[in-house]
């Protein structure tokens, strides 16, 4: 809005106060012509409105800005001088300052007391002048003629070339004009110009994006954890250094360790700047398959890949989901609401606005069995992220006891791993409510469950018999609040894993799974039916699937019939009944 209002005011003043003196030569450049021939009638008019340098214009940064090789060379020199890797925003600010400095230096060199354009001056062909109102552009007079507007008496009109265009300006002009009244220093060094820092606040995003793209194409500069440094200026990291780093990590249970700690323990590169030494070792570790960078954004941590949990390296079978096409319009408003309540990470649910401090979720069987939490839209903002690292090591903290639980954000798989023992210790059931809360430290996240004094409840229990999934209601002690429609106790988790593998190996379809669980669940109800949420929860014992495809199947397949509301049963006319 600053720039828009500034340009609008400038145009309004031009039109109100400007006069095209040589009306016979009115052309596409008449507005520029007016600019040089205005009589200033308003005391509010400022020189800064007509002496903006190119870098002061939004178009310079938004439309025209490109990172040149001269810019890259300057940044290389800065990095060499500082011996410190920089992030793209730090370099973008350096680049903005450099552009302004170059502009100031050029202006100082080419602008003297006799060659800045003033309407009152006399000019001859071949004279050179500085057009301060055109960003201190250097121009040469190509022609001189008499003016033809009798309103202004005798004056001359000079023709100059700017960007292959011929533009005419007044000369020998006796009238009042702001360029006749200001000194050269006032014209060139206008204090109302935005500073490099102010320009960066306005246009730093454009500069950073352009710089990021250019740096990505540079062979001799490397990026790690969001920071850049020339490869040729890095300290040498040998295989011996990497072997020592592996030994240090091995003695620390695989990690995670900061690079600083590794450098200190192996005692290398003591002659280098500390940050450069760390960056050089980071680069060496990054290129070696033995090491995994697992730090959150802005922090580098290393872990031995061979000592990472297998569930971090490979997505657990319970969590593997193959997308299924279905018609979203088949879901009734009630079913859409149920899908939002479930909050499955594979559901097309819009992320919450802003960044919530905490979120509550329902635990499904797939995550209960794998000891994981989903990176759903609801939960994604609770956990640390990284610039590039696919795996992030952090700490979950028990909201009641304060116990620290080493955990991993596995970005490719869309889950958080490390809760198997915590789930078991607190006997958190499938369908139990969990709450995740952010802390001031991005690497620490609090987790809690809706605990209460254990009491006996009727809980549906899943059993495996002769490669079949069966259900019955049993009395069990539960010390956690849960969703009655989602809760399921699994009698034999290993047996359930085997049955799920049996279904996968034989490629048994989802509709067959849904039909089997719906039929068995209906036996527990006097109405001979099962709720949609319960069918979803039970189907995920055998195959990972969000509610959408299951609900759509219930709505359209002739295998199922609705008995009112979100309750279904297997159709009596089903050919597989």
**Whether pLDDT at 519 is above 90:** yes
**Whether pLDDT at 106 is above 80:** no
**Which pLDDT does position 261 carry in this prediction?**
93
* Chain centroid, CA 124 distance in Å: 57
Residue-averaged pLDDT of the chain:
83
3 state SS of 391: strand
Q: Is 524:472 a contact under the CB 8 Å cutoff?
A: yes
Q: Is the pTM of the predicted complex or chain greater than 0.85?
A: no
Pairing of strands 301-304, 291-293: antiparallel
Cα separation of 485 and 544, whole Å?
Answer: 18
Mean of the pLDDT values across residues 143-157?
Answer: 82
**Whether pLDDT at 398 is above 90:** yes
Report the first-to-last Cα separation within the chain, whole angstroms.
68
Cα separation of 558 and 515, whole Å?
Answer: 11
285-332 confidence digits (pLDDT tens): 999 999 999 998 878 999 999 999 999 999 999 999 999 999 989 999
**Whether pLDDT at 14 is above 50:** no
**Which pLDDT does position 8 carry in this prediction?**
36
**Which pLDDT does position 147 carry in this prediction?**
83
The one-character DSSP state at 418 is -
The H-or-E segment that residue 500 falls in is helix 493-505
**Which pLDDT does position 252 carry in this prediction?**
95
**Whether pLDDT at 344 is above 50:** yes
Cα separation of 481 and 478, whole Å?
Answer: 8
Cα separation of 11 and 45, whole Å?
Answer: 12
Judged on CB neighbours under 10 Å (0-12, 13-18, 19+), 405 is: middle
* Paired strand residues for 161: 166
Give the C-alpha distances (Å, rounded to integers) separating 469 from 124, 322, 464, 491, 516. Answer: 99, 22, 5, 11, 8
**Whether pLDDT at 539 is above 90:** yes
214-230 confidence digits (pLDDT tens): 998 888 888 887 888 88
Nearest to 131 by CA among 244, 35, 45, 206: 35
Percent of the chain, pLDDT > 70?
Answer: 84
Q: Is 88:211 a contact under the CB 8 Å cutoff?
A: yes
Cα separation of 84 and 97, whole Å?
Answer: 18
Q: Kindly report the backbone phi and psi dihedral angles of residue 164, in degrees, each rounded to the nearest multiple of 5, phi listed first.
A: 65, 20
Nearest to 343 by CA among 359, 322, 321, 354: 359
Q: Is 331:551 a contact under the CB 8 Å cutoff?
A: yes
Q: For residue 320, what are its two tokens?
A: 């593997």
49-74 confidence digits (pLDDT tens): 344 578 888 888 988 899 999 999 99
| Dihedral (CA of 497, 499, 500, 506) sign | positive
Pairing of strands 227-230, 257-258: unpaired
**Whether pLDDT at 537 is above 90:** yes
3 state SS of 456: strand
Tell me how long the chain is.
Answer: 577
Q: How many C-beta neighbours within 10 Å does residue 482 have?
A: 21
**Which pLDDT does position 184 carry in this prediction?**
53
Q: For residue 379, what are its two tokens?
A: 């939960």
List strand residue ranges (DSSP E) for 249-390, in order. 257-258, 291-293, 301-304, 358-362, 372-374
Helix axis angle for 88-110 and 69-82, nearest 10°, is 110
Top-ranked range on mean pLDDT: pick from 37-46, 126-135, 262-271, 558-567: 558-567
**Which pLDDT does position 429 carry in this prediction?**
94
- Asked which of 229-243, 333-347, 417-431, 535-549 is least confident by mean pLDDT, the reply is 229-243
Q: What would you report as the CA-atom Rg of the chain, rounded to the nearest whole angstrom?
A: 36
The full 3-state SS of 274-285, as one line of letters, equals HHHHHHHHHHHH
Nearest to 256 by CA among 200, 294, 296: 294
The domains found in the chain, sorted by start residue, are 2-188 (no CATH), 234-308 (1.10.10)
- Asked which of 268-277, 416-425, 520-529 is least confident by mean pLDDT, the reply is 268-277
157-197 confidence digits (pLDDT tens): 899 887 777 888 888 887 677 666 655 555 555 556 788 89
Cα separation of 136 and 110, whole Å?
Answer: 9
The model's confidence at residue 501, banded by pLDDT at 50, 70 and 90, is very high
Judged on CB neighbours under 10 Å (0-12, 13-18, 19+), 107 is: middle
Mean of the pLDDT values across residues 122-143?
Answer: 80
379 Cβ contact list (under 8 Å, min separation 6): 345, 359, 361, 373, 416, 436
Q: For residue 321, what are its two tokens?
A: 């989901």
**Which pLDDT does position 192 carry in this prediction?**
61
Mean of the pLDDT values across residues 333-355?
Answer: 88
Nearest to 553 by CA among 333, 334, 331: 331
76 Cβ contact list (under 8 Å, min separation 6): 221, 230
**Whether pLDDT at 111 is above 80:** no
Q: Is 273:84 a contact under the CB 8 Å cutoff?
A: yes
**Whether pLDDT at 404 is above 80:** yes
The model's confidence at residue 389, banded by pLDDT at 50, 70 and 90, is confident
- What are the DSSP calls for 139-198, one per residue? EEEEEEEE---GGG-S-EEEEEEETTEEEEEEES--S--HHHHS-HHHHHS-TTSPPHHH
2 or 110: whose pLDDT is higher? 110
**Whether pLDDT at 13 is above 60:** no
3 state SS of 478: strand
C-alpha angle 494-495-499 in degrees, rounded to nearest 5: 120
The model's confidence at residue 131, banded by pLDDT at 50, 70 and 90, is confident
């Amino acid at each position: 809005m600053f720039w828009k209002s500034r340009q609008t005011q400038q145009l309004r003043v031009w039109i109100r106060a400007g006069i095209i003196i040589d009306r016979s030569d009115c052309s596409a450049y008449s507005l520029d012509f007016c600019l040089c021939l205005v009589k200033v009638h308003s005391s509010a008019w400022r020189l800064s409105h007509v002496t903006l340098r190119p870098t002061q214009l939004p178009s310079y940064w938004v439309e025209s800005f490109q990172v040149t090789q001269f810019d890259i060379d300057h940044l290389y020199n800065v990095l060499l001088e500082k011996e410190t890797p920089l992030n793209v925003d730090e370099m973008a600010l350096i680049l903005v300052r450099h552009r302004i400095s170059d502009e100031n230096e050029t202006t100082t060199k080419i602008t003297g007391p006799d060659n800045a354009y003033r309407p009152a001056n006399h000019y001859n062909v071949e004279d050179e002048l500085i057009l301060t109102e055109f960003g201190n552009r250097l121009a040469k007079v190509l022609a001189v003629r008499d003016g033809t507007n009798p309103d202004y008496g005798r004056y001359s009109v000079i023709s100059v070339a700017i960007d292959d265009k011929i533009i005419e300006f007044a000369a020998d002009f006796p009238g009042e004009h702001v360029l006749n009244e200001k000194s050269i220093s006032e014209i060139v060094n206008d204090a109302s110009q935005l500073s490099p820092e102010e320009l960066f606040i306005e246009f730093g995003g454009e500069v950073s994006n352009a710089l990021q793209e250019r740096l990505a194409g540079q062979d001799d500069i490397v990026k790690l954890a969001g920071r850049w440094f020339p490869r040729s200026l890095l300290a040498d990291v040998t295989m011996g250094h990497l072997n020592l780093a592996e030994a240090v990590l091995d003695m620390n249970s695989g990690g995670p360790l900061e690079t600083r700690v590794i450098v200190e323990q192996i005692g290398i590169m003591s002659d280098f700047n500390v940050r450069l030494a760390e960056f050089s070792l980071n680069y060496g570790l990054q290129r070696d398959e033995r090491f995994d960078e697992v730090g959150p954004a802005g922090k580098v941590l290393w872990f031995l890949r061979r000592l990472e949990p297998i569930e971090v390296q490979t997505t657990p079978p319970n969590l593997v989901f193959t997308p299924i096409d279905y018609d979203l319009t088949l879901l009734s408003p009630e079913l859409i609401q149920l899908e939002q309540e479930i909050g499955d990470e594979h559901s097309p649910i819009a992320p919450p606005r802003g960044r919530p401090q905490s979120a509550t979720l329902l635990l499904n069987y797939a995550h209960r069995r794998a000891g994981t939490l989903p990176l759903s839209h609801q939960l994604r903002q609770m956990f640390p992220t990284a610039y590039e690292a696919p795996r992030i090591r952090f700490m979950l903290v028990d909201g009641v006891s304060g116990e620290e639980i080493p955990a991993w954000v596995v970005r490719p798989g869309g889950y958080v791993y490390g809760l198997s023992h915590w789930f078991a210790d607190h006997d958190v059931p499938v369908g139990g409510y969990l709450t995740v809360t952010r802390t001031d430290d991005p690497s620490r996240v609090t987790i809690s469950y809706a605990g209460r004094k254990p009491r006996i409840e009727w809980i549906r229990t899943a059993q495996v018999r002769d490669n079949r999934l069966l259900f019955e209601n049993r009395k069990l002690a539960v010390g956690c609040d849960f969703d009655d429609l989602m809760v399921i106790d699994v009698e034999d988790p290993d047996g359930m894993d085997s049955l799920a593998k049996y279904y996968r190996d034989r490629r048994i379809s989802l509709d067959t799974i849904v039909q089997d669980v719906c039929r068995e669940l209906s036996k527990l109800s006097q109405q001979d039916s099962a709720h949609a949420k319960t069918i979803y929860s039970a189907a995920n014992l055998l195959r990972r699937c969000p509610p959408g495809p299951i609900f759509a199947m219930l709505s359209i397949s002739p295998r199922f019939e609705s008995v009112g509301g979100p309750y279904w049963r297997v159709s009596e006319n089903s050919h597989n009944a």
